[in-house]
Amino acid sequence: MLHLQPKKLPHLMEACSILTVIIFIISYFIINIQSPPHVPILIAILLMTSYGFVKKIPFQTLQYGMIQGAQTGMGAVLLFFLIGILISSWMASGTIPVLMNAAFSLSGGPWFLAVTFAITAITGVALGSSFTTAATVGVAFIGVAQSMDISLAMTAGAVVSGAFFGDKMSPLSDTTNLASTVVKVDLFDHIKNMAWTTIPAFIITFIAFILLSSNRSDGSQLNSFQSVINDSGLIHWTSWIPLIVLIVMTLFKRPAFISLALSSVAATIIAGSRGVISWNSLWATWFNGFTGDTKSDAVNELLTRGGINGMLFTISLVILALALGGLFFVTGVIPSVLEKIQNTLRTVRAVTISAALTAIGINVAIGEQYLSILLTGEAYQDIYEKTHLAKKNLSRTLEDAGTVINPLVPWSVCGVFLSDVLGVSVIHYLPFAIFCYLCPVMTIIFGWTGKTLTQSRTDKGASTIGEAK
């Protein structure tokens, strides 16, 4: 979007004032009115259009900015459609249920909090959704903790940590796809690069929860979940095939779109051949999602998800947010601020830390992780290029300081949802959501030292604009 600039930029104070007003409006609607983020973003679009008129910018130019902004997310939108189809087809073929069954089998042992963290992490990777993981498996662990008189705050922290590990590292996650698409990085390259900060954070968190765990564990509630899933008729040896297809395509470095499509088709054929549901109903799940049909309402809630329809909330939000971003650029508001930043940031260290703090700041100010990823990604792409840093470094920072910070903000979308579904306030579980604040710490440490940061391919061998020192 950085090419969408007017001939004359507004003064820095004017640009900052406009951004402050827009952030305040979005924050007020999301925090106080608890409105869906679409509404304040649309209001912000109308206000920015009015500002453009005041600056005598033709509507055609403003409309072009919105269209160009929305176009930058079309790659993510197409992936979102496929992710919805993949989830529903994986449910029907038993791929996700068999992964759940494997996770539940690991629930024995004395380290309850560590097991909770590990299982929610595995489930989160399988589902690609922190919300679904917390609302299903997370609630089950909260129930077990209540029956065992284990700290609910610690248990909620373990659930949130595991759920957002999965949300961050799953190829099915909308935030993971969004972060990679916004900065034009291959999805699986993005996930592999995130391992540098995510794996150490995972290990430290797992050890911390071992130390915090009591020596008692009761898996009866999880055993009930496992029993119902086993009796559902979804689990079969063929259920592993769609996952194998996805892994093979990943190893051969096929594009994410092709990998997800082939895995979805394979899962659909398997489900239809096994007669899980009729072919007519099976194709309908591509749009409406899969509906669980077991004797347990809790398991049905766990299995009912997916479909294109289930992704429309995210898709519509992405389009609106990117359209707003286009207006920020075509009116010169963001370029004015970026010009000041670009004149200040000269080192790899400064660029990385500044990007991380920007993503965190947007999360705190607006409480919306999508905007944190979108706005920070657009703002720092050129700056990363000028410091000869590969864009996958930026996409990693977006997730380390964007995706996982949102559940730590009490008035954020994730914070409000998680505190409601788990019955534990953000303030209480925040100290124990260890993984979520270790990730930005790791990315800032690596930014400060320059470790694990990769040069762009075209610039390898060339000196960077200031080294991390």
**CA–CA dist 221, 147 (Å, integer):** 10
Contact 433, 410 (CB under 8 A): no
Quick: pLDDT tens for 7-63: 788 888 998 899 889 888 887 887 788 788 889 889 999 999 999 999 999 999 999
Amino acid identity, position 340: K
Measured distance CA(419)–CA(424) in Å, rounded: 5
**Could you report how far apart the first and last alpha carbons of the chain are, in Å?**
31
Q: What is the residue extent of each domain of the chain?
A: 75-311
pLDDT level of residue 108 (50, 70, 90 thresholds): low
Cβ-count burial of 179 within 10 angstroms (0-12 exposed, 13-18 middle, 19+ buried)?
buried
The pLDDT of residue 112 is: 82
* Total residue count of the chain as it appears in this document: 469
237 CB contacts (<8 Å, ≥6 apart)?
Answer: none
Which tokens in the block code for residue 327? 């207006």
pLDDT at 366: 67
Helical segments of 94-129, H only = 95-104, 112-127
169 neighbors 372 (Cβ within 8 angstroms): no
Alpha helix segments (H runs only) across 10-73:
12-31, 38-54, 59-71
* Percentage of the chain exceeding pLDDT 70: 89
Q: Which of 145-154, 231-240, 294-303 has the highest mean pLDDT?
A: 231-240
* pLDDT-derived band at 280, boundaries 50, 70, 90: confident
Tell which wins on pLDDT, 250 or 329. Answer: 329
Most confident of 3-17, 60-74, 386-400, 432-446: 432-446
Q: Which amino acid is at 240?
A: W
For the cut 80, the answer to whether the pLDDT of residue 219 exceeds it is no
Report the 10 Å Cβ neighbour count for 362. Answer: 25
Lookup: tokens for 306: 């997916």
pLDDT at 317 over 60: yes
- Better-predicted residue by pLDDT, 247 or 66: 66
- Rounded CA-CA distance 324/316 in Å is 12
Neighbouring-strand partners of residue 389: 455
SS3 of 290, please?
strand
Angle between helix 256-274 and 74-93 (nearest 10): 20
pLDDT tops 90 at residue 202 = yes
Give the pLDDT score at 349.
Answer: 81
325 Cβ contact list (under 8 Å, min separation 6): 1, 69, 334, 374, 375, 378
For residue 271, give every residue at least 6 positions away whose Cβ sits within 8 Å of its Cβ, in sequence order, or none: 89, 92, 93, 94, 277, 282
Q: Give the range among 161-165, 405-409, 419-423 with minimum mean pLDDT.
A: 419-423
pLDDT at position 297: 80
